Amino acid sequence: MRIREYASPKAAQRVKGPVLNRILVAYDDSTTVRRALAEVVCLAQVEGARLIALAVEEHLPHFDGASLGEVREEHERRQRTCRLWLRSAEAYADEHGVRLRTDIRSGSFMQQLARSAAAHQADLVVLGRRNRPGTWGRFTGSKAERATRHVGCSIFIAG
């Protein structure tokens, strides 16, 4: 992937044609991810890239004594939360003149991120960085670090 300089309009014109066509941002409406979205919207404007926001319902409801209705209700609640996050992302992108497509998936964050990136043929995946405290965080690494092993395209970790 070529790297484009964005410091000035002249610098942006040095590289002809788009470097990025599709950018996927994993979105959960956290502070770091909102900052990442702001960066990605600017990048999409410069590149003319399509922007996709992904929300993952990661922890699926369990049957542990719950009725099917309770499990379905919990799933629907989590889906509503994802839709709220993505509406927020859509509003921000729209405010800045960028069209944003949305994608909601259920399951393992890493698997769904990789599947969504493949399905949308993403050139770049953007993740917000989160710190995990203590020894466990240093041992397992962040989701962003693990994503570099699962996603088949470039990854930008913002935060």
Give residue-wise pLDDT tens across range 68-126.
777 788 888 889 999 999 999 999 999 999 999 999 999 888 899 999 999 999 999 99
Domain that holds residue 59: 17-158
Q: Is residue 6 part of a domain?
A: no
Q: Is residue 88 part of a domain?
A: yes
Q: Is residue 141 part of a domain?
A: yes
CA separation for the pair 101, 11 (Å, rounded): 29
Report the pLDDT value the prediction gives residue 129, as an integer from 0 to 100. Answer: 72
Report the pLDDT value the prediction gives residue 34, as an integer from 0 to 100. Answer: 92
Q: Is residue 68 part of a domain?
A: yes
Decide: 53 and 25 in contact? Cβ < 8 Å.
yes
Q: Is residue 65 part of a domain?
A: yes
The CATH number given to whatever domain includes residue 22 is 3.40.50.620
Q: Is residue 1 part of a domain?
A: no
Question: Which amino acid, 157?
Answer: I
Strand order in the sheet with 50-57: 100-106, 50-57, 22-26, 124-128, 154-158
Q: Is residue 54 part of a domain?
A: yes
Terminal alpha carbon distance of the chain: 22
Q: Is residue 51 part of a domain?
A: yes
Provide the domain count of the chain. 1
Residue 143 has pLDDT above 80, yes or no: no
